Amino acid sequence: MDVNTFLSRRRSLATSSGEIAYTEFGTGPAALFVHGAGLSGALWRQVIEELSGTSRCIAVDLPAHGASPARPDMSLTGLAEALAELCGTLGLGQVDVVGNDTGGAVAQVFAGRHPDKIRSLTLTNCECEGNFPAPDFAVIIEQARQGALAPLLAQIAANPETWPTNPLSMGYQYPGRVAADAWRDYLTGIGGTIERARESERLLASLDAADIEAVGGQLRTLEAPALLVWGTADTNFDVKWAYHLRDMIPGAREVVEIDGAKIFFPEERPEDLVPHLRRLWAR
């Protein structure tokens, strides 16, 4: 699915804590897809194209990303509560949650705080207890806390010729193949104006390991089926962290290693994720 077709279905929803944007395709049991820092729900477009025949697929734009405005609380806990409000306002009941990168950390906090809402949990390369923030991400968070990141975000967003080599490109196996329209949505969503860049900076500065550590006990009692699908070529999220999560979450069934894949493989290599989701969900 091309980016513009996907984005043509993007909608905005009023919740108790503010507006949040999401894109929806398909009918059936609800599946909620959560992207990481710097991207948008468009990360999931190829996966959703394959799964929308049997599932109501909802890709959220986290606050201060994509088309979602910022909100007062953009900590991991605040982002997780934004997911809960989205689910509640849409009347979703239980959902199959799929998270990537920082969105995987948000998904873990959401699952820990709202286990009754989790039908299943799938995590791809992401932060977790003991690895938050990831090494390269820690540098960016520190820049944000110093107020030095926003001008860089705005500069990158304003210069399309730099998009294929922007810092997010390190998360792709083949960054040169990422569609220009995808880069446009991701980068203008976090830095299209200096005001937007300041909001993104505030979100990053709000991220704290304490939020994910606070749900460790709840995750250790989460009985919902869980699956870890992990790219092996990612230097920030070594595959050992997938096995850590498998051993931590009682409902975790297995770790699926995706050879040579990097953080954002759900966009580049959807064929390496979709069959495992189908098997887990058993639609």
How far out from the chain centre does Cα 164 lie? 20
Distance CA 61, CA 22 (A): 6
pLDDT given at position 253: 86
How many DSSP H helices and E strands does the chain contain? 13, 8
Predicted confidence pLDDT, tens digits, the chain (283 residues): 999 999 999 999 999 999 999 999 999 999 999 999 999 999 999 999 999 999 999 999 999 999 999 999 999 999 999 999 999 999 999 999 999 999 999 999 999 999 999 999 999 999 999 999 998 899 999 999 999 999 999 999 999 999 999 999 999 999 999 999 999 999 999 999 999 999 999 999 999 999 999 999 999 999 999 999 999 999 999 999 999 999 999 999 899 999 999 999 999 999 999 999 999 999 8
Distance CA 277, CA 99 (A): 12
By the 8 A CB rule, do 36 and 104 touch? yes
N-terminal to C-terminal alpha carbon distance within the chain? 22
Assess whether the previous peptide bond of 133 is cis (omega < 30° from 0).
Answer: yes
Distance CA 183, CA 164 (A): 8
Phi, psi for residue 114 in degrees, rounded to 5: -135, 60
Per DSSP, the residues of 63-124 read TTSTTPPP-S--SHHHHHHHHHHHHHHHT--SEEEEEEEHHHHHHHHHHHH-GGGEEEEEEE
Encoded tokens for 154: 């705005």
pLDDT given at position 23: 98
Q: What is the dihedral of CA 9, 14, 19, 25, to 10 degrees?
A: -20
Per DSSP, the residues of 140-205 read HHHHHHTT-SHHHHHHHHT-GGGGGGSGGGGG-SSGGGS-HHHHHHHHHHHHSSHHHHHHHHHHHH
- Spatial CB neighbours of 282, under 8 Å, sequence gap ≥ 6: none
pLDDT given at position 160: 95
- Spatial CB neighbours of 271, under 8 Å, sequence gap ≥ 6: none
26: which DSSP letter? Answer: -
